[in-house]
Amino acid sequence: MIKLTFQILDGGPTGQPVQIATIGQQVYHKWTCDSETVDTFCAIIHSCFVDDGNGDKVELLNEDGCALDKYLLNNLEYPTDLIAGQEAHVYKYADRSQLFYQCQIRITIKEPNSECGRPKCTEPQGYGSVKSVANKVGNRPAFRLLRKRDAGYDENTMDVRADISTLDISDQV
């Protein structure tokens, strides 16, 4: 059994989890997969989004695990087979104080006597993330057809989430 966690830590990889942070504060996004077996699995973090809670969503990592905007989140570092992380600075949506993160973790079996494969990413440019906006209520169809997951669904991929509340410096006065 593998236990997956996604935490936003204060300052760096050994910091304490934070729920409230100020704009510009240094934090560390950390994904951990705890396994009872050693040297058996590999983890890749991919398909990460940040959401304002109203459906305004920005893609941070693509489906290959590569960062899209170095100012929001740079390419991840993998210090071990089952841990990934990256330093970042706290930001927020202009009209919302909470950020909701959702990422996927792909777990694979590690080949004996080999290294875990890692994403081959180029250095992300600034402002390269992709924004999507939820449909407005008036534009939604009255019904929608629910289908089974598509054939591309991977049972070795799981979702993890984290959230943080942000404060502007002016909010603290």
CATH number at residue 59: 2.60.40.4100
CA separation, residue 98 to residues 4, 62, 71, 91 (Å): 23, 22, 18, 10
- How is the beta sheet containing 26-35 ordered, strand by strand? 2-10, 26-35, 83-89, 77-80
**pTM (2 d.p.):** 0.83
**What confidence tens digit (pLDDT) does each residue in 6-40 have?**
999 999 999 999 999 999 999 999 999 999 998 99
Is 143 inside a domain boundary? no
Residue 8 forms part of a structural domain: yes
Cα–Cα distance measured from residue 29 to residue 141, given in angstroms and rounded to the nearest whole number: 37
Q: Report how many domains make up the chain.
A: 1
Task: Note whether residue 146 is domain-resident.
Answer: no
Residues of the chain short of pLDDT 70, as ranges, are 128-154, 170-173
In a domain, residue 42? The reply is yes
| Residue 84, domain member (yes or no) | yes
Across the chain, mean pLDDT equals 86
Evaluate whether residue 145 is within a structural domain: no
Considering the domain boundaries, does residue 163 fall inside one? yes
Which residues span the domain enclosing 58? Answer: 2-135+151-172
The confidence score (pLDDT) of residue 132 equals 67
Instruction: With H, G, I as helix, E, B as strand and everything else as coil, classify residue 7.
Output: strand
